[in-house]
Amino acid sequence: MTISPLESAIRRAHLGLLWGASLLVPGWRRSQWSQEWRTELWYVLRECSCKASARPRSIREATAFCLGAYQDAIWLRRRSWQKQRPLSRVAGSAYVCLLLLIGALLFTWGIAHMSSRVAAGMSRIQVYPRRVSDTGTPCDCPFDLAVGRASFEAARLLFDGFSHYEITQETVWSEKMPRTKWTLAQARSDFFDVLHLPVLFTDGVTRVPDSLPHVVLSQDTWIRNFGRKPNIAGAKLHVGSVDAIVVGVTSGDSMGFPGTAKAWLLGPDPQIASSKLEFVVGHLSRVGYLDDGRWSLSVGGILLGLLVLPFVSRPSIGEYGSQKPSLARRGRFWAFLLAKITISSAIVFYASVDLGCLLVPPFSPSSAYIQATSSAALCLLGLTWAWRDQKHRCPICLRRMAHPVRVGQPSRTFLEWNGTELICERGHILLHVPEVPTSWFGAQRWLCLDGSWRFLFARPNG
């Protein structure tokens, strides 16, 4: 039999396809695999050559045959990976499902806690310290008052103390120090307590009379003007027209306040004067984004998702045939579903916090909307997944049902059974899922397999 150049080229193309597929096959099987497929191709081409009347169709069939070799090769490659990874055998088990969920929960929890701290930090940068008034007139602020107010209101739950101070210039002197012009920060007497700022070297404070204003020196002033004197508390200073008593030295935490004051003059509430700079400072509590009451947004979203769930997913796991799993088995089945729903809800909670915190600037109004809506949407998704996953789990061993087989087509088998059948890999149960629900087969149906099936699913070690 003579072969035309075109046929020869097509044959070579087919062999080329097989060669390409053989590259996917694990090396140790490649030779035998290639031999088998080349042999089979020979028979396919022989069959095709008999159908000379429909040559293009024959070529298509032969090409389709060769393309099937890729599926075979990929299957062999996957099988080889599965053998190398014994964990793939337990992939459908309930324990793996719960472990994955717990892993996801820990991940979202970690992100939420990290972003919570980051949000608190960002809030500190945004709000504290902020110059409130430049000229003494509250409306004449150097920043957008509306934005600033919103920012304060949004973040107020994070702060556990607010105070303010004003910057003044005063002449200060003492018996051992000549008259010097100092930049002073004038604040309320509880300024350091409210802001949780430590004051150092306060050993002599008990002897200080309360009637006099107190002075807290900055570290720089203490070093330059008082030579690091440790028992500085109790020293008397003349500040402008009043006498004051030094009560300590600021710690490093107090550095960086705007105004670069050399000392803090603590007394009654200072009055805002039009010529002075005033600053408002707030102390951020150690709580983060998670602890500021926003949890209610996520919880509300989750509850909304729970309410909507029955309208988007049919909460039924189907019907059992004549045999039902034992009560204990069914209890375990529902306990597993409950565990999934609980963990999923926790994941949704933390994931919505993550989204509300990371997608937009934290504490902005849109972050609250995102948190609330995403928690509802994610809850719906999570619960729908949990329910659907449950519907395809063996009620006895809780493994995922496997090997779906589509049986019949509604358009061809009118009134006959059509749908998908799944089987438990351990041989416990069959699941029939109708393709088109009918009045006599509306929901999926479980069929417990009796003992006669067990030998098919026995394990090598018994």
Partner 1 sequence: MARDSRLTHNTALILKAIDSGFVYGFSIMEMTGLPSGTIYPAMRRMEEDQLIRSRWERQAIADREQRPPRKYYQLTSTGKATLEASRKRYPLIERMVPNAEAKP
Q: Which residues bind partner 1 (CB under 8 A)?
A: 36, 38-40, 42-44, 46-47, 64-65, 67-72, 75-76, 79, 402-403, 405-407, 421, 423, 425, 452-453, 455-460
Q: Please give the full DSSP string across 429-446, using - where no structure is assigned.
A: EEEEEESS--SSS-S-EE
Would you say 60 or 149 has its CB closer to partner 1? 60
For partner 1, give the closer residue by CB, 43 or 143.
43
Give 79 or 286: the residue with its C-beta nearer to partner 1.
Answer: 79
d(CA 195, CA 197): 5
- Measured from the CB of residue 330, what is the shortest distance to partner 1 in angstroms? 25
For residues 424 and 401, the answer to whether their CB atoms sit within 8 Å is yes
Considering the complex, state which of residue 162 and residue 453 has its C-beta at the smaller distance from partner 1.
453
Ranges of beta strands (E only) in 118-224 are 130-133, 159-173, 180-188, 199-200, 214-217
> Are the C-beta atoms of 130 and 143 separated by less than 8 Å?
yes
Using the minimum distance from each CB to partner 1, give the nearer residue, 75 or 334.
75
Contact of 161 with 282, CB cutoff 8 Å: yes
- The DSSP code for 128 is S
Q: What DSSP designation does 177 have?
A: S
Instruction: Give the separation between CA 277 and CA 261, rounded to whole angstroms.
Output: 12
What residue type is assigned to position 168 of the chain?
Answer: T
Closest contact distance (angstroms) between CB of 75 and partner 1 is 4
Nearest to partner 1 of 82, 180 (CB atom):
82
User: Helix 145-155 crosses helix 94-127 at what angle (to 10 degrees)?
Assistant: 140
The least distance separating partner 1 from the CB of residue 287, rounded to whole angstroms, comes to 52
Q: Is 43 or 173 the residue whose CB approaches partner 1 more closely?
A: 43
3-state secondary structure of 248: strand
Give the nearest distance from C-beta 39 to partner 1 in angstroms: 4
Q: How far is the CB of 458 from partner 1 (least distance, A)?
A: 5
CA–centroid distance for 30 within its chain: 44
The nearest distance, CB 425 to partner 1, in angstroms, is 5
Q: How far apart are CA 231 and CA 247, in angstroms?
A: 10
Q: Smaller CB distance to partner 1: residue 65 or 182?
A: 65
The least CB distance from residue 73 to partner 1, in Å, is 9
Residue number with CB closer to partner 1 (25 or 351): 25
Strands 277-284 and 159-173, by their bridges, are antiparallel
Distance CA 253, CA 449 (A): 72
Distance, CA of 364 to CA of 370 (rounded, Å) = 10
- Taking the least distance from each CB to partner 1, the nearer of 274 and 322 is 322
Q: How far is the CB of 381 from partner 1 (least distance, A)?
A: 30
Non-local CB neighbours of 450 within 8 Å, separated by 6+ positions: 323
| Between 7 and 291, CB nearer to partner 1 | 7
First to last CA, the chain: 57
Q: What's the closest the beta carbon of residue 326 comes to partner 1, in angstroms?
A: 24
Write down the least CB distance from residue 110 to partner 1, Å. Answer: 37
Minimum CB separation of residue 28 from partner 1 in Å reads 14
Q: Nearest to residue 329, comparing CAs of 427, 391, 422, 397?
A: 397
> Exposure pattern of 180-218 as b/e (b: 16+ CB <10 Å)?
eebebbbbbeebbebbebebbbbebeeebeeeebbbbbb
